[in-house]
A and B are shown apart, each in its own frame.
Chain A
């Protein structure tokens, strides 16, 4: 009796369906305004009932989050975007793709461990195979040989998703400086993943920061315009970003 609501919803829908068929039998094929209203109500109810469509999370530290959101916003427009645009202008797409692939390949341990933790054994072994092929034939991962020629697929997983798949909730919403939207769970996951992120073990620290910066700038160079589009389309960008992040994570966890 875990989901009495579902049964109820099922019965209601069934009832509506039956009345619907009866209406059909009565030759009321032309939709009356009343039927239309019913339909509207049905669609509305559906969106309200399905939690998957409208994930909501507590935002108890709203003022901190909003400050971080405003900070990241300024950082993007005054630093990250101009730098990434300049970088994009002088760097061929081929090179940018290569760098992207290189950093993606480096994150293999994160994907491998989290596929294992979620019991996705086939995907974990695929990740292992992709890593081996791309690190060798693909020359340190610059070329995604396995994906391109062996038709293998990566399965992006991280600890936040793993925790989510174990039915651990988001906790609350959290905006991190530089890193952007997150939740308590996902931030903890990020901290856990950092132990198996090779870049974090790079010495000296100048090289570590250099690599991290290049990765971030390179990634941004592929996404220039996305954030602007989101702001342009939304009425309240802070809420739109929060909701967008949660929906995106939810769909990743579901996969």
Chain B
């Protein structure tokens, strides 16, 4: 309720700060997010469908992972999944965690795409719902649907645009289930784990 009342204020301040700085209000950058996402996902689908790769080939996996690194903001993904625990990690531990976590996330995501009969897969881009911009950072939720046959899986991508960088995904919601929130709960449950325990656990998980 109160939040709704606040929104016009935000808009006011937004307009105010822009005019005060003498900037012209440019088109909302959220519009580019969807086309950026679509291009990247199309590229990923093309790699999954590429007949030159055998099933489960290492080379294909590497190609897919390279694309994932471009498309996902794995640092933010990791940070939010670990929650407060992230602060107890050293810089080297953070780096390790982000690396293994990025492997796990991209594997999960590609499995979701490639697990079905890929030939008949279609992705509909339904809606683009920008979140309130904070500082100079833009975020948006892109609602999509993965359709194969008569099955529809709603997938929402939460994306972030940081300064001059491209749009990147930092959370994926599949059928209303946020991956970040899900991992976060798993890490909260296991309070006694040290950063090294967490990294080793992930390492084992990814190796399998």
Contact = CB atoms under 8 A, between A and B. Distances in A.
Interface of A: 2-3, 6-7, 10, 13-14, 16-18, 20-21, 23-25, 29, 31, 35, 38-40, 42-44, 47-48, 53-54, 56, 93, 97, 100, 144, 222, 225, 229, 232-236, 239-240, 242-244, 247-248, 250-252
Given A47-B83, A56-B185, A233-B104, A17 B190 contact: no
Given A40-B79, A229-B115, 5 more contacts: A31-B136, A35-B135, A42-B134, A47-B181, A248-B177
B201 A235 contact: yes
B163 interface: yes
Interface in B173-208: 173, 175-178, 180-187, 189-190, 201-202, 205, 208
B63 interface: no
B80 interface: yes
A1 B177 CA distance: 31
Contacts of A3: 1-2
B21 A24 contact: yes
Contacts of A35: 135
Interface string B55-66: 000000000000
B79 A44 contact: yes
B186 A235 contact: yes
Contacts of A243: 177, 181-182, 185-186
Nearest to B198: A235
B51 interface: no
**What are the 6 tightest A-B residue pairs by CB atom distance, in nearest-first order?**
A251-B176, A21-B17, A20-B135, A233-B108, A243-B185, A10-B6
A14 B13 contact: yes
A17 B185 contact: no
Contacts of A248: 175-177
B108 A17 contact: no
B184 A93 contact: no
Contacts of B20: 21, 25
Contacts of B177: 243-244, 247-248, 251
B10 interface: yes
A10 B2 contact: yes
A243 B173 CA distance: 13
A97 B83 contact: no
Interface string B25-68: 00000000000000000000000000000000000000000000
Contacts, number: 130
Contact of B3 (A6, A29, A31, A235): A6
Contacts of B6: 10, 14
A24 B79 CA distance: 26
Contact of A43 (B1, B76, B187): B76
Contacts of A6: 1-3
B9 A14 contact: yes
Nearest to A255: B176
A40 B73 CA distance: 13
Contacts of B76: 43
Interface string B1-27: 111001001100100010011000000
Given A222-B151, A247-B178, A240 B186 contact: yes
B25 to A, nearest CB: 14
Contacts of A100: 150
B121 interface: no
Nearest to B151: A222
A173 to B, nearest CB: 12
Contacts of A54: 181, 184-185
Contacts of A17: 10, 13, 134-135
B9 A39 contact: no
Contact of B111 (A14, A222, A229, A236): A229
15 contacts: A10-B2, A14-B6, A21-B21, A24-B136, A40-B79, A42-B134, A47-B184, A54-B184, A229-B111, A232-B108, A235-B201, A235-B202, A239-B185, A240-B185, A247-B177
A227 B156 CA distance: 20
